[in-house]
């Protein structure tokens, strides 16, 4: 964890400090998996059996609580271990037909969201958050994720004090243990040669976020007074107690003496990852004002359904097998009401527009022993590994994507190369189009590097499996089109403000050539000096312009791919020995992430090759500059 770019800063206000020094700690979940000697293997196996038995008991308790809370679970499914992933999930015990309901969440079911956490009185979280937010010297905000993570962490400490206890008791004790966020520095360094650069950046950003959120959560935890719990003994309270013979050995929570020990980074990480990997977004009806917004909430039992990837577009695949897609889908999305400030508040679904409940229904027949899965969305391999701790096999699916950035300075250098023969008017036309589209921040020379100008700015791009790279293609089309095409497009899409004495010429001319279809000119009787929007228009580039755009796009992606995926070939990556700092499962996951990224680039080749139909580039240009 020492690879976080910046050292963790203390963001708490001094007024909230309790005198405990905070250190930057390493997460202990990741890295090379520990091994046991033969002398201890028997006791380890026994401990594992006991842990499994405890987990099963916790799940049974949760199912009993959830069904009493009005959730309906089909008798044809149970919570068990997936035969393919070894993860706990919903498993079919009997054959199910297409269209059967697996889970039904009615209006009266409890869903725990940040409003529930902020209003918690069972664990004293409401008073602690209120006290923190009243302090003028406090640090960062208590975000919804921080509030929910605190609720999870406190419930793990005091499960008997809250209805949330049955749910938290059934959660994994180390969620995110297989996430790259939990890797040691040695493990991360050993993987750098094959990890996509975007994943390395995402790990660093997420770790930085983790420490900032932990600082806030730890400051709030310092103020928690759990009703009925013994107060936390500090050095001052201990000395005071020993000097007074009349001191009581037990202090009431009404004294407002905090009861909780320091929130460790490992403790917060486990709670935070539980939120990130299990919370579901629902539409929320906020009180009686009719305003609906989206909130993340924890929904017991529903989140036992693991994610399944949708098949890739066009049957694009890597390795053997193609993803079959999720087993269930939601039939209706509920509107639920967030709790008011009442004791032991809970968030419930509520009737709205006839959607008083939501059901997860099978999309196909399910055989006994098959896992019942759901789709969390088209998540990339990097997102799945980072936040859910696994990489799909095969790594080609509907969510497969790579992200990368290109400096504006590099794009400007490319423009100078591919459009070196432009006249001043043609160069100005291209510049105006690229500035209008946001590809260039300002016209060259107006803002320098020291002021954050073109040479310092970078643009983010995303490539999705089997999908044309539209934004980058649009930029390439503008850069590589003929000079007269650039001027005609600039006149239509990015015209300069007309002079007062030339308002009659402000409308776009009709074009009868190969550049784009007829543009409706401004009516002479119009009182406006700006041209009206065209009724029907499309970009139509000549074949040579499209060919050049495709070649330039192919060149750019060829330069980007080794940076994104690493310089190793597939054969070299697979032939590498597993580094000592990395366990075999983590190495295999890293290889799959890289293979998925390479597959994305190969799928784009179909759109940029010499023989590919380049008509789609015209649409990409239009979408960029319209």
Determine which of 107-116, 262-271, 277-286, 497-506 has the lowest per-residue pLDDT on average: 497-506
What is d(CA 470, CA 377) in angstroms, rounded to the nearest whole number?
21
Dihedral of the alpha carbons of 124, 125, 130, 136, in degrees to the nearest 10: 110
Q: What is the CATH number of the domain that holds 335?
A: 3.90.1410.10
With respect to residue 394, please indicate whether it lies within any of the assigned structural domains.
Answer: no
With respect to residue 609, please indicate whether it lies within any of the assigned structural domains.
Answer: yes
What is d(CA 492, CA 476) in angstroms, rounded to the nearest whole number?
19
Arithmetic mean of pLDDT, 102-108: 82
Closest residue by Cα to residue 302 from 120, 70, 55, 57? 70
Give pLDDT, residue 265: 94
Give pLDDT, residue 26: 38
Closest residue by Cα to residue 212 from 12, 3, 2? 12
Distances (CA, A) of 265 to 124, 221, 269: 21, 12, 6
Q: Are residues 619 and 481 in the same domain?
A: yes
Q: Which residues contact 305 (CB under 8 A, 6 or more apart)?
A: 89, 90, 103, 328, 360, 372, 373, 374
With respect to residue 173, please indicate whether it lies within any of the assigned structural domains.
Answer: yes
Give pLDDT, residue 511: 34
pLDDT in tens, 201-225: 999 999 999 999 999 999 999 999 9
Arithmetic mean of pLDDT, 14-28: 35
Determine which of 124-133, 271-280, 489-498, 606-615 has the lowest per-residue pLDDT on average: 489-498
Give pLDDT, residue 531: 52
In this structure, what token pair is assigned to residue 79?
């919570």
Arithmetic mean of pLDDT, 57-76: 85
Give pLDDT, residue 418: 94
Q: Are residues 167 and 298 in the same domain?
A: yes
Q: Are residues 337 and 421 in the same domain?
A: no
Which has more pLDDT, 317 or 568? 568
Phi then psi for residue 298, to 5 deg, are -95, 125
pLDDT higher than threshold 70 for residue 23? no
pLDDT higher than threshold 60 for residue 492? yes
pLDDT higher than threshold 50 for residue 76? yes
With respect to residue 271, please indicate whether it lies within any of the assigned structural domains.
Answer: yes
What is d(CA 3, CA 205) in angstroms, rounded to the nearest whole number?
11
In this structure, what token pair is assigned to residue 6?
């910046």
pLDDT higher than threshold 80 for residue 496? no
Give pLDDT, residue 238: 40
**Would you place residue 524 in the very low, low, confident or very high pLDDT band (cuts 50, 70, 90)?**
very low
Residue pair 557/469 in contact (Cβ under 8 Å)? The answer is yes
Residue with the two structure tokens 């504006």: 408
With respect to residue 347, please indicate whether it lies within any of the assigned structural domains.
Answer: yes
**Would you place residue 583 in the very low, low, confident or very high pLDDT band (cuts 50, 70, 90)?**
very high
In this structure, what token pair is assigned to residue 410?
């590099």
Closest residue by Cα to residue 532 from 488, 499, 492? 492
With respect to residue 32, please indicate whether it lies within any of the assigned structural domains.
Answer: no
Angle at 176 between CA 170 and CA 182, to 5 degrees: 145
Q: Are residues 376 and 407 in the same domain?
A: no
Give pLDDT, residue 54: 59
For 29-55, b/e burial (b = at least 16 CB within 10 A) is bbbbeeeeeeeeeeeeeeeeeeeeeeb
pLDDT in tens, 304-335: 899 999 988 776 554 456 788 889 887 764 44
pLDDT higher than threshold 70 for residue 523? no
Q: Are residues 365 and 472 in the same domain?
A: no
Q: Which of 333, 356, 388 is the last residue of a domain?
A: 388
Sheet containing strand 72-73, strands side by side: 72-73, 101-105, 358-362, 328-330
Q: Are residues 130 and 173 in the same domain?
A: yes
Determine which of 5-9, 190-194, 368-372 has the lowest per-residue pLDDT on average: 5-9
Q: Are residues 230 and 318 in the same domain?
A: yes
Mean pLDDT of the chain: 76
Q: How many domains does the chain have?
A: 2
With respect to residue 439, please indicate whether it lies within any of the assigned structural domains.
Answer: yes
pLDDT in tens, 243-302: 433 333 333 334 468 889 999 999 999 999 999 998 888 765 555 666 666 778 888 888
Q: Which of 325, 353, 388 is the last residue of a domain?
A: 388
With respect to residue 151, please indicate whether it lies within any of the assigned structural domains.
Answer: yes
In this structure, what token pair is assigned to residue 450?
């020291």
Give pLDDT, residue 290: 65
Q: Are residues 550 and 454 in the same domain?
A: yes
pLDDT in tens, 137-192: 888 899 999 999 999 999 999 999 998 888 888 887 776 678 999 999 999 999 98
**What is the extent of the structural domain holding 473?**
401-464+466-522+529-625
Q: Are residues 312 and 367 in the same domain?
A: yes
Give pLDDT, residue 172: 78
Q: Are residues 162 and 218 in the same domain?
A: yes
Q: Are residues 127 and 185 in the same domain?
A: yes
Which has more pLDDT, 193 or 451? 193
**Would you place residue 193 in the very low, low, confident or very high pLDDT band (cuts 50, 70, 90)?**
confident
Q: Are residues 340 and 413 in the same domain?
A: no
Q: Which of 362, 388, 414 is the last residue of a domain?
A: 388
**Would you place residue 358 in the very low, low, confident or very high pLDDT band (cuts 50, 70, 90)?**
confident
């Amino acid at each position: 964890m020492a690879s976080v770019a910046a050292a963790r800063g203390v963001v708490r206000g001094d007024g909230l400090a309790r005198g405990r020094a905070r250190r930057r700690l390493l997460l202990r979940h990741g890295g090379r998996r520990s091994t046991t000697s033969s002398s201890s293997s028997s006791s380890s196996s026994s401990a594992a059996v006991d842990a499994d038995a405890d987990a099963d008991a916790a799940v049974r308790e949760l199912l009993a609580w959830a069904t009493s809370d009005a959730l309906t679970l089909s008798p044809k499914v149970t919570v068990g271990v997936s035969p393919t992933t070894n993860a706990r999930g919903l498993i079919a015990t009997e054959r199910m037909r297409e269209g059967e309901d697996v889970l039904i969440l009615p209006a009266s079911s409890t869903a725990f969201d940040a409003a529930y956490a902020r209003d918690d009185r069972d664990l004293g979280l409401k008073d602690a958050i209120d006290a923190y937010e009243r302090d003028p010297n406090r640090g960062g905000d208590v975000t919804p994720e921080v509030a929910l993570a605190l609720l999870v962490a406190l419930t793990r400490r005091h499960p008997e004090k809250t209805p949330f206890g049955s749910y938290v008791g059934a959660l994994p004790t180390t969620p995110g243990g297989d996430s790259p966020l939990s890797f040691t520095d040695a493990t991360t360094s050993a993987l750098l040669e094959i990890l996509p650069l975007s994943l390395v950046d995402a790990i660093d950003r997420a770790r930085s976020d983790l420490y900032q959120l932990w600082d806030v959560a730890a400051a709030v935890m310092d103020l928690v007074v759990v009703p009925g719990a013994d107060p936390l003994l500090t050095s001052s309270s201990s000395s005071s107690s020993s000097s007074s013979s009349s001191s009581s050995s037990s202090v009431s929570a009404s004294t407002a003496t905090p009861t909780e020990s320091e929130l460790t980074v490992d403790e917060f990480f486990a709670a935070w990852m539980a939120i990130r990997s299990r919370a579901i977004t629902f539409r929320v009806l906020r009180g009686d004002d009719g305003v609906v917004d989206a909130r993340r909430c924890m929904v017991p039992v529903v989140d036992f359904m693991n994610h399944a990837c949708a098949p890739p577009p066009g049957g694009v695949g890597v390795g053997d097998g193609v993803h079959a897609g999720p087993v269930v889908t939601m039939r209706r999305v509920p509107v639920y009401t967030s709790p008011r400030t009442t004791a032991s508040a809970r968030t419930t679904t509520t009737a709205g527009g006839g959607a008083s409940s939501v059901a997860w229904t099978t999309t196909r027949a399910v055989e006994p022993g098959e896992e019942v899965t759901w789709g969390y969305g088209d998540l990339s391999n990097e997102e799945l590994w980072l936040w859910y701790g696994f990489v799909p096999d095969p790594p080609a699916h509907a969510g497969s994507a790579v992200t990368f950035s290109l400096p504006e300075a590099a794009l400007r250098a490319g423009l100078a190369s591919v459009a070196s023969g432009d006249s001043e008017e043609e160069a100005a036309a291209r510049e105006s189009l690229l500035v209008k589209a946001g590809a260039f921040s300002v016209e060259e020379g107006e803002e320098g590097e020291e002021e954050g100008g073109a040479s310092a700015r970078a643009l983010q791009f995303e490539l999705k499996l089997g999908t044309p790279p539209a934004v980058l293609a649009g930029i390439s089309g503008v850069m590589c089109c003929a000079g007269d095409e650039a001027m005609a497009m600039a006149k239509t899409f990015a015209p300069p403000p007309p002079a007062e004495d030339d308002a009659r010429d402000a409308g776009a001319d009709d074009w009868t050539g190969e550049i784009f279809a007829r543009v409706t000119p401004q009516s002479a009787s119009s009182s406006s000096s700006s041209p009206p929007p065209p009724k029907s228009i499309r970009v139509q580039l000549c074949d040579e312009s499209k060919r050049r755009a495709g070649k330039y796009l192919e060149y750019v992606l060829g330069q980007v791919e080794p940076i994104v995926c690493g310089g190793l070939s597939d054969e070299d990556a697979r032939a590498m020995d597993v580094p000592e700092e990395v366990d075999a499962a983590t190495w295999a996951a890293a290889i799959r992430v890289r293979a998925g990224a390479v597959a994305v680039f190969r799928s784009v080749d179909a759109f940029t090759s010499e023989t590919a139909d380049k008509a789609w580039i015209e649409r990409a240009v239009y979408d960029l500059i319209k």
